[in-house]
Structure 1
Amino acid sequence: MVRAQALNKPIAGGKKAKKSSAAWGKGLVFPLLVIIIWQIVSSSGLVSVTVLPSPLQIVSTFYQLIISGVLLEHLQISIYRAAAGFLLGGGIALILGFLVGFSKQFESYLDPTMQMLRTIPSLAVTPLFILWFGLDELSKILLIAFASFFPLYVNTYNGIRSVDMKLFEVAQVLEFSRWKKVTKLILPSALGHILVGIRLSLGIAWLSLVVAELMGSSSGVGYMIMDARQFSQTDKVFVGIIIFGVVGKLTDSLVRLLEKKLLKWQTNFEGVE
């Protein structure tokens, strides 16, 4: 019996690997089809190069920007701004979301204000941030922090409040201390919601980065895009857009990988074949 189970493990691992590679293959079909059609349309001259440069031209521009070091310089600054804003906004969101979710007193005092602020668009507070903090790095980081705060706050709060009350009753019978309730009961149960909040906050951080880099910036991928637009360098604009998409996807994939490792004890519906 034990030998049979041992033999089944590598087979199961092989099946998972095949499914993963098959999923990647299927995911590439549509982008490749779009790129082929795009190249054909661009090469035929039906559309102006200024309006829609060919994929090969975009790749060539991408390569030139990498070789010159311009792209890496802009990308490093953008990653720093997005990471600093996310860590600041996300850190505060985790603390407040946990306090409000765990305590009715904190909920009464803080949550109404948080829910009101959540409805204010980032673009609406941009002029205020410029007036308060100027056009330095601080205003950009704070704007990203403001935008990335709310998805993680709401998901942390909802994750804690979605913990099954029956588990609390069991913890009460077992005489768990408050610390043990938090570490053994609340955090494991709310972790799925918190990780979803992190994914959403990271996405919002990248979206708000573009707005932040329009605030009198002289560096960053967002600035590079706006500078290219002024000189009608559409291929350079596409390079910036692709960079945002690729880095955003990589950060999202890292969080999803973290989800799989931390939540492997959960058995969730994964869709039908």
Structure 2
Amino acid sequence: MSTTRSPALGPPPDPVTTTADTARSAAPGVATTGPTSRKTRSGRSPWRFLRRWVSPVVVVALWQLASSTGVLDERTLASPATILQTAWQLAADGVLGSATLTSLQRAALGFAIGATIGVTLAVVAGLWRIGEDAIDPLMQMLRTLPHFGLIPLFILWMGVNETPKLALIAMGVCFPLYLNTVAGIRGIDTRMLEAARSMNLSWGQRLRHVVVPGALPQALVGLRQSLGVAWLSLIVAETIAADNGLGHMINLAREFQQTDTIVVGLAVYSLLGLATDAIVRYLEGRALAWRG
């Protein structure tokens, strides 16, 4: 009788491997090493999360010790206990929540404007050669400008209302998204596009099934970079000309030398940045699950 197997079924099993696997599974008391034996499926120890918190906790403990013993003057930098007490008081008074909500809305609006512009220009420059020739030289010139240096011009052109703040955030967001999205589109394997054409897919189908999945990993990298720049731009914009928000709260605290309030504002900025980055990383894991 012929032992030829169907290609769909794959090659016949290796007798040595099969025997060893059978014996291993049948032997009582023999521990198997799987992805969930002592490590998670990602290959990381479950204790790694706790280990990563050791150094921050040690730094805060030393900071508190230096403040309690008088080595670190409270006027120079408030102790962690004082900062927590101030944060609780500001939250109870509603000052911290109102300032945080204002800054979050400002950052979200500026990011939406910059992301829309950046992605739109990237798609045009990445898909069409004439679009690249028209858009890319100008974008390469503008991205070399330090956008924080444009603040005086923004104030002269737009005043000290919300417009220059949003323009500063949008400009900082636009370029990382543009560069990474263009790189992602250009990095798509041409054989994939040729296969899509040979299958008679329409332009919209090629965009959906080939261009978007191919460019998405690089575009998400640009998204994370843009979020970091957005928060940095917000901090600068609010500390220069703002009558509300976290930056305004920090400016008032600076005038009265309240280092505890200043650190509270900076900590909220940092937590907002970490939260948005974590959201993007979660979305990245879901959107790119097909990569395994």
Cα distance in 2 for residues equivalent to 1:54 and 1:9: 46
Report the CA distance shift for 1:262/1:9 in structure 2 as closer, same or farther (over 3 A).
farther
1:82 corresponds to which of 101, 104, 107: 107
Over aligned residue pairs, what C-alpha RMSD do you find? 2.1
Give the drift of 1:216. 2.5
Cα distance in 1 for residues equivalent to 2:56 and 2:226: 26
Q: Look up the SS of the partner of 2:47 in the other structure.
A: helix
- Once the two structures are superposed, the pairs formed by residues 4-23 of structure 1 within 5 Å of their partners are 11=36, 15-16=40-41, 19=44, 21-23=46-48
1:26 aligns with 2:51: yes
Q: 2:127, 2:185 within 8 Å by CA — same for their partners in 1?
A: yes
1:212 corresponds to which of 228, 232, 237: 237
Report the CA distance shift for 1:18/1:39 in structure 2 as closer, same or farther (over 3 A).
farther
Q: 1:228, 1:237 within 8 Å by CA — same for their partners in 2?
A: yes
1:111 corresponds to which of 116, 122, 136: 136
Runs of 4+ in 1 over 6 A off after TM superposition: none
Number of aligned positions between the proteins? 261
Q: 2:147, 2:171 within 8 Å by CA — same for their partners in 1?
A: yes
Give the drift of 1:166. 1.6
Letter in 1 for 2:178: Y
**Partner in structure 1 of residue 183 of structure 2:** 158
Cα distance in 2 for residues equivalent to 1:17 and 1:54: 38
Q: 1:77, 1:220 within 8 Å by CA — same for their partners in 2?
A: yes
Deviations 1:226-246 (A, max 9, x none): 221121111111101110111
Q: 1:225, 1:236 within 8 Å by CA — same for their partners in 2?
A: yes
TM-score using structure 2 length = 0.84
**Partner in structure 1 of residue 156 of structure 2:** 131
Q: 1:140, 1:215 within 8 Å by CA — same for their partners in 2?
A: no
**Partner in structure 1 of residue 263 of structure 2:** 238
Cα distance in 1 for residues equivalent to 2:211 and 2:128: 13
Letter in 1 for 2:268: I
Deviations 1:200-246 (A, max 9, x none): 11111100001211343111111211221121111111101110111
Q: 2:239, 2:250 within 8 Å by CA — same for their partners in 1?
A: no
Largest Rg, 1 or 2: 2
**Partner in structure 2 of residue 254 of structure 1:** 279
Identity over aligned residues, as a percent?
40
Give the drift of 1:118. 0.4
- Once the two structures are superposed, the pairs formed by residues 85-96 of structure 1 within 5 Å of their partners are 85-96=110-121
**Partner in structure 2 of residue 270 of structure 1:** none
Give the drift of 1:16. 3.9
Deviations 1:88-123 (A, max 9, x none): 000111111111011110000110000100011122
Query: Which ranges of structure 2 fall in alignment gaps of 5 or more residues?
Result: 1-24, 26-32
Cα distance in 2 for residues equivalent to 1:81 and 1:23: 36
Q: 1:85, 1:144 within 8 Å by CA — same for their partners in 2?
A: yes
Q: Which has the higher helix share?
A: 1
**Partner in structure 2 of residue 42 of structure 1:** 67
